[in-house]
Amino acid sequence: MTTATTHLPDARRHDIDALRALAFLFVIVYHVGMYYVADWPWHLKSPHAADWLQWPMRVLNLWRMDLVFLISGVSLGFLSRGQGTWGLLRSRGVRLMLPLAFGMAVIVPYQAYAQGVANGMVAPGFGTFLLRYLSMAEPWPKRAFDGAEFGITWNHLWYLPYLFTYTALVALTLPLWNSAAGQWMRRRFNGLRGWKLLLLPVLPLLAWTMLLASHFPPTHNLVRDFHLHSLYFTMFLYGYWMGVDTGVWQELERLRRVSLALAVAVIATFIALRVGAKGPPSGLLMDALRMLYLWLAVATILGHGHRYLNRPWPWLRWANESVYPWYVLHQTLIIVGVTLLAPLALGPVLEPALLVALTLLGCWLLTDGLVRRSNWLRPLFGLKLRRRAAQPRQPASAEALPPEPGWRSPSPRA
């Protein structure tokens, strides 16, 4: 049985701002961890790779990108109230696909080069590599680097074409979502309360996993990634429905301790079954535990975020404009940091600490010192052009749009 829901006023959602910034900070830490976790393929691997890292990485991996896509859907929920189909496609196309093209041509190539050299399939000399990479005149050796079969790769930037695809799907079907049937579905979801909110959203995720997981392993190549698409788009749609509602956010806040306790219990059960099994366990029980933990973890984060982060933190305005450039830059800076630090043999404690520090420092220097200051570079990193002349400030309640990429209604988002 659903209850009536109300819509959010045009007040800034500081909790969503903060969660978005923190989610992408976790992405940076996760990608540093990928260099050190044993038996997980990545572009480069450390001689200090550790088996114990697999479990914390897996616990994080089960929900990290699902949370990001849900937050992206929340943004679209706000943004779609002020734009139609073609406005959404035009604005999102520029904000997502221009940084993708720039990143694939300028930011990502060093990752492919470093991996190809480490694999012994690319000759040293980045300039020569870059000319061949950009020209795509001849094929690369098989498995020279991730994406070598396509001649060019987007590596960590895969999130951008996925997000644009999901945005386009919703934008092209806006009449459906705005119809009586579409609004009924939104109300039914946002009207979930108590145990229904913690359990029912799991059912579509579990159904997709049972139907698709064994046939479509993750690829991040967009074309045949049907299992990940089913999960990510479902979470994106949940966020789109939730964005402008107040009741569902208040309920997630009310249930935050229950969802946290259940998430801990579910992941503990999952780990116990995995550790106790002779081989990797599979089947309905393990799929159910994974999907249940995914949703409970996201619900816990959203509930606690709404309770504790929904305030105008001093760092939030800076973080809102920095998060997109940091995302574009961070993985190449990790690879650069690896090539600088690995020859020094600093060990499994000092090296990763310095790698994280160098990555964060590089992101800050390049973003604050260069990207944000240049109107030539800002659109290439998903930022709006800076105004040439200062505009008189309006009262906060009258502001139509926050600084990019903010979260007022309507609110642009990358």
Picking from 10-14, 72-76, 168-172, 346-350, which range would have the lowest pLDDT averaged per residue? 10-14
The stretch 12-23 carries a mean pLDDT of 90
C-alpha to C-alpha distance for 407 and 319, rounded to whole angstroms: 12
Q: What pLDDT does residue 243 have? A: 86
Residue 219 corresponds to which tokens in the numbers above?
């690829």
Give residue-wise pLDDT tens across range 290-338: 999 999 999 999 999 999 999 999 999 999 999 999 999 999 999 999 9
pLDDT (0 to 100) of residue 87 = 86
User: In which band, very low, low, confident or very high, does the pLDDT at 34 lie, cut at 50, 70 and 90?
Assistant: very high
Domain boundaries, the chain: 14-108+154-382
Residue 124 CB partners (closer than 8 Å, separation 6+)? 117
Residue that the structure tokens 């309360």 belong to: 193
Q: What's the confidence (pLDDT) of residue 108?
A: 97
Nearest to 270, CA basis, from 292, 242, 247, 302? 292
- Residues of the chain with pLDDT > 90: what percent? 77
Q: What is the CA radius of gyration of the chain?
A: 22
Q: Is the pLDDT of residue 361 over 60?
A: yes
| HSE toward the beta carbon, residue 103, CA cutoff 13 A | 30
383 vs 397: CA distance, rounded Å: 24
Q: Taking a C-beta distance cutoff of 8 angstroms, is the pair 68, 30 a contact? A: no
pLDDT at 189: 96
Identify whether the C-beta of residue 219 lies closer than 8 Å to the C-beta of residue 30. no
Contact 95, 404 (CB under 8 A): no
Whether residue 393 has pLDDT greater than 80: no
Rounded CA-CA distance 44/342 in Å is 11
Q: In the prediction, which pLDDT does 1 show?
A: 40
- What is the three-state SS of 303-366? HHHHHHCCCCCCCHHHHHHHHHHHHHHHHHHHHHHHHHHHHHCCHHHHHHHHHHHHHHHHHHHH
Instruction: Between 121 and 6, name the one with better pLDDT.
Output: 121
**Beta bridge partner(s), residue 37:** 50
Structure tokens at 82: 């002020």
Whole-structure pTM value: 0.89
Residue by residue, what is the 3-state secondary structure of 133-195?
Answer: HHHCCCCCCCCCCCCHHHCCCCHHHHHHHHHHHHHHHHHHCHHHHHCHHHHHHHHHHHCCCCH
Which pLDDT score, from 0 to 100, does residue 83 have? 78
Range 82-100 average pLDDT: 89
Under 8 Å between Cβ of 64 and 23: yes
Look at 50 and 2; give whichever has higher pLDDT.
Answer: 50
Give the model's pLDDT for residue 245: 87
Mean pLDDT is lowest, of 153-157, 251-255, 356-360, 388-392, for: 388-392
